[in-house]
Amino acid sequence: MPTRVAIHSSVERIFPPEKLQSLLSELDVEVSDDVAEGTASGDAGDFDAVVSFGYEPGFLEADLDWIHCVRAGYDEFPLDALRERGVRLTNSTGLHGDSVGETALGFMLQFARRLHRYRSDQADKAWNPPTWDEAFTLNGESVCVVGLGTLGLGVARRADALGMDVAGVRRTPTPVEHVSEVYTPDELVGAISDARFVALTVPLTDETEGLLGAAELDAMREDAYLVNVARGGVVDQPALVEALRSGDIAGAGLDVFAEEPLPKDSPLWEMENVVVTPHAAAATVDYADRIAALVRENVRRREAGDSLTNLVV
Ligand code: NAD
């Protein structure tokens, strides 16, 4: 039986659902808001699989055997419930090393070359050269990359290419290309305390929630910048606001937040030493093509009875 795939409208947060549908036109795919309701013909239980951005309880009511999440982070998905119901979850890790890697280095370049400041001044037509000791180069500076998976390696490779000294934190302290020193999570404070930049690239799990709290921020250099392209929950956000206000750290490039969209009354919006981006680090025009390739491969595997790639549960 060919796999019948629903494309949930939540994917429109990244690309139009119809774009993915047309890329997968050789398969039996349909855009559906309500997977439990089945296809437009109205037969419940019509779909075998759904491709989605987020999770809906309706997914468990439908007779699905596979959910594909179009993001790398799957922290919103109820893994135990899926396991219990025998529903497989696959994610999209492996796709974002270039996009998020470039965004993370973009944050670092902005701070080093002060581009964020000039862009703000431009709104006021203000010609404000930097003070003599303000600008620096990434070449010769250090970064500690926390989490050395797809994103972390994307950051490490680029930082190394720009002449930075790259340290990293990973659970197994084996050598990693482009990383001169690898630390374990229990060595986090020591690993980040010497770095000019700390880049967070870990998934949000019970272990990483609040990983960067007041003590870690305090251990960072006063001229250090935090780059968070992972998940907002990895950082204790009130502690970060306090560290930025009090000058415990020099600034932050933030793509992800405790609450998204970032509430209008968040002090982060107005801090001169903070660059806020709208969870956009992974955005690329070819995102749907890459998802289509992953889905196509897993449909092939499902029909062949092989194990799925990027399987989470
Ligand atoms: P990945 O699975 O390829 O890599 C994650 C790495 O983190 C793995 O190597 C894992 O071993 C490591 N890790 C887990 N817990 C750790 C810990 N306590 N200490 C150190 N390392 C730890 O995933 P990825 O594709 O690199 O994505 C990582 C996370 O980044 C995702 O889960 C997602 O939340 C986030 N993300 C954000 C964006 C964005 O748009 N900002 C895009 C993609 C991914």
What are the boundaries of each domain within the chain? 4-95+285-304, 97-276
Whether residue 207 lies in the annotated active site? no
β-strand partners of 52: 69
CA dihedral in degrees (45, 49, 52, 54; nearest 10)?
70
Distance 147 CA to ligand 1 centre (A): 6
In the 8-state DSSP scheme, what is residue 47? -
Whether residue 300 lies in the annotated active site? no
pLDDT at 282: 98
Cα–Cα distance for residue pair 275/136, rounded to 1 Å:
18
At 84, the amino acid letter reads E
Task: Locate the ligand 1 atom nearest the alpha carbon of residue 146 and give its number.
Answer: 20
Catalytic, out of 18, 260, 272, 303: 260
In the 8-state DSSP scheme, what is residue 202? -
Neighbours of 177 (CB within 10 A): 10
Task: Locate the ligand 1 atom nearest the alpha carbon of residue 149 and give its number.
Answer: 4
Cα–Cα distance for residue pair 6/261, rounded to 1 Å:
27
Distance 151 CA to ligand 1 centre (A): 7
| pLDDT tens track, the chain, 313 positions | 889 999 999 999 999 999 999 999 999 999 998 888 765 555 556 899 999 999 999 999 999 999 999 999 999 999 999 999 999 999 999 999 999 999 999 999 999 999 999 999 999 999 999 999 999 999 999 999 999 999 999 999 999 999 999 999 999 999 999 999 999 999 999 999 999 999 999 999 999 999 999 999 999 999 999 999 999 999 999 999 999 999 999 999 999 999 999 999 999 999 999 999 999 999 999 999 999 999 999 999 999 999 999 999 9
Q: Please state the CATH superfamily assignment of the domain spanning residues 97-276 in this structure.
A: NAD(P)-binding Rossmann-like Domain (3.40.50.720)
Pocket of ligand 1 (CB under 6 A): 72-73, 93, 96, 100, 147-152, 169-171, 185, 201-205, 207-208, 229-231, 255-256, 279, 281-282
Whether residue 279 lies in the annotated active site? yes
Phi/psi region, residue 86 (left: phi>0; alpha: psi -120 to 50; beta: rest), is left
The token pair at 270 is 């107005």
Would you say 77 and 100 are in contact if contact means Cβ atoms under 8 Å apart?
no
β-strand partners of 143: 166, 197
Choice from 146, 150, 200, 291 to test ligand 1 binding pocket (greatest atom count within 8 A of CB): 150
CA dihedral in degrees (228, 232, 236, 237; nearest 10)?
90
- Contact partners, residue 240, CB within 8 Å, separation at least 6: 212, 217, 226, 252
Cα–Cα distance for residue pair 282/99, rounded to 1 Å:
5
Would you say 204 and 73 are in contact if contact means Cβ atoms under 8 Å apart?
yes
Cα–Cα distance for residue pair 175/153, rounded to 1 Å:
12
Q: Residue ranges of the alpha helices (H) in the chain? A: 17-23, 58-61, 79-85, 97-113, 115-123, 150-161, 188-193, 214-219, 237-246, 287-304
From the list 291, 250, 225, the residue with the least C-alpha distance to 90 is 291
Q: Please state the CATH superfamily assignment of the domain spanning residues 4-95+285-304 in this structure.
A: NAD(P)-binding Rossmann-like Domain (3.40.50.720)
Distance 97 CA to ligand 1 centre (A): 10
Q: Check if 4-95+285-304 and 97-276 are the same fold.
A: yes
Q: Residue written as tokens 């796709």?
A: 95
pLDDT at 151: 98
Residue nearest to atom 34 of ligand 1 (CA): 73
Distance 245 CA to ligand 1 centre (A): 28
Cα–Cα distance for residue pair 39/4, rounded to 1 Å:
10
Cα–Cα distance for residue pair 2/176, rounded to 1 Å:
41
pLDDT at 37: 74
Distance 37 CA to ligand 1 centre (A): 34
At 259, the amino acid letter reads E
Choice from 151, 186, 200 to test ligand 1 binding pocket (greatest atom count within 8 A of CB): 151
pLDDT at 43: 59
SS3 content of the chain, % helix, strand, coil (to 5): 35, 15, 45
For the four alpha carbons of 110, 169, 229 and 284, in that order, the dihedral sign comes to positive
